[in-house]
Structure 1
Amino acid sequence: MELDLTWILLGLPAAFALGWIASRLDLRQMRIANRQAPRAYFKGLNYLLNEQQDKAIDAFIEAVQNDPDTSELHFALGNLFRRRGEYDRAVRVHEHLLSRADLSGADRQRAQHGLALDFLKAGLLDRAEEALRKLEGTAYEGQARLARLAIYERSREWPEAAQVARLLENSGEANFAIRMAHYQCEQAREAVQQGDTALAEKILTATLQTTPDAPRPRILLGQLQLTQGQAGQAFDTLSVLFERSDLAAPLAAASLAKAAQAAALTAPAMQLLETHYAKQPCIDVLEAITTLEAHTPEGTAASHQRYLVHLEKQASLMAATRWLTEESTEAHPLPAPVQKALEQAIRPLSRYRCAACGFEAKEHFWHCPGCQAWDSYPPRRVEEL
């Protein structure tokens, strides 16, 4: 069969026309998609600025569907899901990013960091720790180490926390010497709770040698020595705080007074306490002084006068209550309802308050149970702040 050139000549223009129409249709669809993607993106941004997170998420999902290769939209979605507490969806977004082979190195590190934050916010500390370890040697290394440090402190893994703190200190992030002293003190406290006082004393003694300016190990060591009947050693340990006028000395005032009484060192203890009180008047130091004076013949009258002198320096309901209690006698006792009312009134004033979050407690904390900050509790009662 002979090829008819007429059909070929007619078919070529037809094929060209159909190809041109198809290309125009594809170009039109591309233009429509490109217009829809930015429109959805800007719509989501507008919702986000107006704090309409639900509508922003819907708009960003629409934009991702139109352009699934856009990593920035995935990061925006992941952050929004995490802020809303939808941690499972945030994890899926960041894991999807990490599964992409075409993702750049910087974006891969960013996605890994986002995934670690997802686990951290969700309280999945083990998975968060694993994700944070993968950020070693990246631009997020410092942030990852700080996050790991917070995890170890929260879970009370003190050796691991000390190891990360040393890494941070060696990298020039900050000085973690006092923080690491706290970790040693926490380990010593756990040893005491387990009945291993010898290990606790060894830890505290070594900590004092490495960080002699840290007040907490000195206070804990002095209290431990006092409970073991080493009153003289406890006095020597605690007296250093008062000799150098340490701000934390009031926390050791009661223990110093007990050690002085047990070791017959009342006179040097009185001198230390009075010298410190003259520089920094404090109700805890004052009560330690009155405790020592109570064992002298003129002790009651002297302590009674001391509370009045303290009231002249600063108004104190705690000191006034102590003075009224001392003022009462068997012939003229302080009525029980009055005593009860005063004790109830001074109870909130005798607390300690975190300077970071305002959490109040009966006892002084070195590590705030509210905001997890270290050394945020001033060593003075609420009334004296």
Structure 2
Amino acid sequence: MDFDLGWILLGLPIAFVLGWLASRLDLRQMRIENRRAPKAYFKGLNYLLNEQQDQAIDAFIEAVQKDPDTTELHFALGNLFRRRGEYQRAVRVHEHLLSRGDLTASDRQRAQHDLALDFLKAGLLDRAEDALRKLEGSRYEAQSRLALLAIYERSRDWPEAAEIAQKLQDNGEGSFSGRMAHYLCEQAAARNAAGDTEAARQLLAHAIATAPQAPRPRIDLALMQVKAGQHGVALQTLLDLGQAAPQAMPLIAKAMAQAGTAAGRASQALAALQASYTEFASLDVLEAIVMLEAAEPGQADAARQRYLQHLERQQSLVATARWLSGEKLEHEQFHPQVQRAIEHATRPLTRYRCAACGFEAKQHFWQCPGCQAWDSYPPRRVEEL
């Protein structure tokens, strides 16, 4: 059979036309899809700006389905899930990103960081720790270390917390010596509770060397010395603290007065307290002074007059209540009721308040129970702030 070249010449233009039509159809379909993807994206953005997170998530999911390779949409979707508390869905989004082989190094680090945040928010501390450890050497290194520090503090893993704090300090992220002293004090308290007082003393000595102006190590050491009957040594420890951190005197005033009395060195303790009170009129220091002066024969009434002298320097309902407790009223039979009412009114004024979150407590805390901030409680009562 003869091969007719005419059919070939006729088929080539037809093939060209069909190919051209197919390409036009593909381009048209691509343009339609490209128009739909940005439309879904902007729809989601509009919902997000209007705080309609449910609709925003639906729109972003639609956009991701149309263009699975868009990393920014994945990040936006994962962050939305995390903000809504849907941590499992956020984890799936970020794990999907990490599984992609075409992800850039920068986006991979970002996805790893977001995954760590998902675990943190979900309370999965072990998995969060593993995810944060993988960010060493990345641009998220400082943030990851701060998050690790919070994890170790929360789990009371003080050696690990100290290691991270040292790295942060070495890299110029601020001074963490105060925190590291707290970590050592926490370990000392655990050793002391277990009966290993020598190890506790060594840890406190290390804490003093780490942060010489931190009041807690010396206070804890003085309490241990008092418990061991070493009142003179305890007094000297507190006197040294008064020199190193005079702002902490209200916290140690009562202990200083008691140690001075027990050691037969009440006059030395009184002189230190009076010098501190002259510098700053603290109620706690004033009460310690009154306690020492009232212990002297025939000086009880004169000691109470110090409350009146304090009122000349500062208006204080607490000092008024302390003075009134020893006064005789015209209608003495009503004195107990009046005293109870005043003490009830002054009770909130004698609390301590966290400067970071405002949490109030009857006792002074080194770490706020509310916001977990360290050294956020001033050594002054609420009335003195």
Aligned-pair distance for 1:85? 1.1
The secondary structure found in structure 1 opposite 2:246 is coil
For 2:40, give the aligned amino acid: A
Partners of 1:201 and 1:337 lie apart in 2 by 47
Cα shift readout 1:119-145 (whole Å, capped 9, x = no counterpart): 011111111000000000111111111
1:96 matched to 2:96? The reply is yes
For 2:210, give the aligned amino acid: T
Aligned-pair distance for 1:328? 4.1
Kept in 2: contact 1:245–1:276 (CA 8 A): no
Cα shift readout 1:215-238 (whole Å, capped 9, x = no counterpart): 110111111111111100000000
Aligned-pair distance for 1:245? 6.0
Alpha-carbon distance change, 328 to 243 in structure 1, aligned in 2, over 3 angstroms: farther
Alpha-carbon distance change, 229 to 333 in structure 1, aligned in 2, over 3 angstroms: farther
1:74 — aligned with what?
A: 74
Kept in 1: contact 2:246–2:276 (CA 8 A): no
2:185 — aligned with what?
A: 185
Cα shift readout 1:268-321 (whole Å, capped 9, x = no counterpart): 111110110011101100111111122111231122100111111111111111
2:373 — aligned with what?
A: 373
2:106 — aligned with what?
A: 106
Partners of 2:195 and 2:287 lie apart in 1 by 31
1:269 — aligned with what?
A: 269
Alpha-carbon distance change, 366 to 333 in structure 1, aligned in 2, over 3 angstroms: farther
Cα shift readout 1:43-74 (whole Å, capped 9, x = no counterpart): 11122222222211111111111110011111
2:28 — aligned with what?
A: 28
Partners of 1:219 and 1:117 lie apart in 2 by 37
Aligned-pair distance for 1:157? 0.8
1:281 — aligned with what?
A: 281
Partners of 1:352 and 1:193 lie apart in 2 by 26
2:323 — aligned with what?
A: 323
Partners of 1:176 and 1:8 lie apart in 2 by 84
TM-score (norm 2): 0.96
Aligned-pair distance for 1:194? 2.7
Cα shift readout 1:103-161 (whole Å, capped 9, x = no counterpart): 01111001000000110111111110000000001111111111100111111111100
1:222 — aligned with what?
A: 222
1:304 matched to 2:304? The reply is yes
Kept in 2: contact 1:226–1:259 (CA 8 A): yes
Partners of 1:26 and 1:216 lie apart in 2 by 73
Kept in 2: contact 1:242–1:273 (CA 8 A): no
TM-score (norm 1): 0.96
Partners of 1:209 and 1:23 lie apart in 2 by 77
Cα shift readout 1:353-375 (whole Å, capped 9, x = no counterpart): 00010000111011111111111
2:115 — aligned with what?
A: 115
Partners of 2:140 and 2:160 lie apart in 1 by 19
The secondary structure found in structure 1 opposite 2:309 is helix
Aligned-pair distance for 1:350? 0.7
Partners of 1:167 and 1:333 lie apart in 2 by 66
For 1:324, give the aligned amino acid: L
Please list every run of 5 or more consecutive structure 2 residues that lacks an aligned counterpart in the other structure.
none
1:255 — aligned with what?
A: 255
Aligned pairs, how many? 384
1:383 — aligned with what?
A: 383
Report the aligned-residue RMSD.
1.6
Identical positions, percent: 65
Kept in 1: contact 2:242–2:248 (CA 8 A): no
Aligned-pair distance for 1:190? 1.9
Kept in 2: contact 1:181–1:217 (CA 8 A): yes
2:176 — aligned with what?
A: 176
